[in-house]
Structure 1
Amino acid sequence: MTAKPAPFHYRESLQAYFETSEVRFPVDQLLAKKMSFVPQAFTVGEVADFYKACLAARQTQIDYAQTLFDLWHRIWPDLGAGWDPAPYDPGDKELTLDPQVRWEQQYFQRSFDLKPKRLRANLWLFLTPSSPSGSEIELGCTLVQGTKWLLKKGSMPDGWSWDKDNEGFQFAADVAVSDNGLDLAPFAEAAHRAVSFIADFVRQ
């Protein structure tokens, strides 16, 4: 049994975004595309309010990107001795820390190499809104050797399901929230089972 993670709270802007559709909709609209409004159509006060809303939406986006990073490191354990962070690929634009990209892609991923066996493990975390309120975390992992994807549908850690699109495992659940913060224990325990499975697989 893994130790229960310390309490974790969403940042204020993100909490409001997940819990309130009246906040979520305008934030999504403000961040979805470039604005084509012209200042002649608004009063001075309306223009000021518009930019305040843009600033709040941008803050939500940056808080979201930071939270993805924080949650990944809270939930995924170390793979163990011999695994090193994979070199950064500047050609892979989807893995940049750019908050706009993280907001659009809705996940954070890290990859690790076990060089003696030419293995790469990819571990990711999605954070998405639930309907009508709340949030969902999805974990995923793949194991690759050269061009061969090694994980198979027939053998998976407890609680995980097969991710056909990525040829790996996935675990998803709504996030329970209380006054003590987010309950990350189910996700940390699932991540521990996946990492243990990978370790056993590698030893075979």
Structure 2
Amino acid sequence: MYEPVPEFRLPESTAGYLTDPLVLKAVDSLLDEDSSTLPSTLDSTELASYLRARAAALAVKYDTVIALEELWRAIWGRLLGGWLCDAEWKEDRNPDHLWDEQAFWHRHLRSGYAFWTGIELQRPSDDQMPCIRLYCSLLLTSDEEETELLEGKLAGFELTDEDHSWSSWMYQIDPCRIPVEQTVELSEMKAIADRIYQAVQEVTL
């Protein structure tokens, strides 16, 4: 059972990572390093502070992965009581993959339909502030093919044109680019998810 929540509080480490360019750069640099070795330029007196920095970077990573799952649960999970979670849900759920994608998604099944739902914490870029985005797709499945069923039913939504393997065929909700702050108001995202689910119900029932 997923408990309804009116707002979501991002971990301080995640909010700092997404909103402070210096923190983002430092964390990414530390996590890109080979964890089995130490930097060649590291002085022996710097070992403890270096290891603390690595531990802090790993905390950002795992805090963010946990936050992604909890955000997905607060927005999408509350709607899916009548659906069966795909038995293969553990695929691509390792923390490294979720961290790289900054996204969490699930596939739920019912009566030959597959309903994909996802959420992304989008890193900042030169022309984009960090934000939260929703994704969805409804497929009619068979042994031969999968047919998309939401086309033309979601005004304001469009298929993604991104290279993410998990989202290139899913609908993204551009009006729902919620700015990243430590406390995230969920009402807009939940209202959009409700509207999507109503369209899904009309197709599948």
Report the alpha carbon displacement of residue 150 of structure 1 after superposing the two structures with TM: 2.3
Partner Cα distance (2:33, 2:179) in 1: 32
Gaps of 5+ in 2: 162-166
Gaps of 5+ in 1: none
Q: Which amino acid aligns with 2:148?
A: L
Partner Cα distance (1:69, 1:201) in 2: 27
Match of 1:150 in 2: 148
Q: Does residue 163 of structure 1 match 2:165?
A: no
Match of 2:130 in 1: 135
Partner of 1:8, secondary structure, is strand
Q: What is the count of residue pairs matched by the alignment? A: 190
CA contact (8 A) 1:123 1:140 kept: yes
What is the 5 A alignment of 1:60-139? 60-76=60-76, 77-79=78-80, 81=82, 83-88=83-88, 92=91, 94=92, 96=93, 98-114=94-110, 117-131=111-125, 135-139=130-134
CA contact (8 A) 1:85 1:112 kept: yes
Normalised to the residue count of structure 1, the TM-score between the two structures is 0.81
Q: Does residue 183 of structure 1 match 2:181?
A: no
CA contact (8 A) 1:130 1:174 kept: no
Partner Cα distance (2:20, 2:181) in 1: 16
Normalised to the residue count of structure 2, the TM-score between the two structures is 0.80
Cα 1:105–1:80, aligned 2, differ >3 Å: closer, same or farther?
same
Report the alpha carbon displacement of residue 134 of structure 1 after superposing the two structures with TM: 5.0
Match of 2:16 in 1: 16
Partner Cα distance (1:38, 1:18) in 2: 26
User: Cα RMSD over matched residues?
Assistant: 2.5
State the Cα deviation string for residues 157-184 of structure 1 (Å, max 9, x = none). Answer: 24322236643321144334668x2122
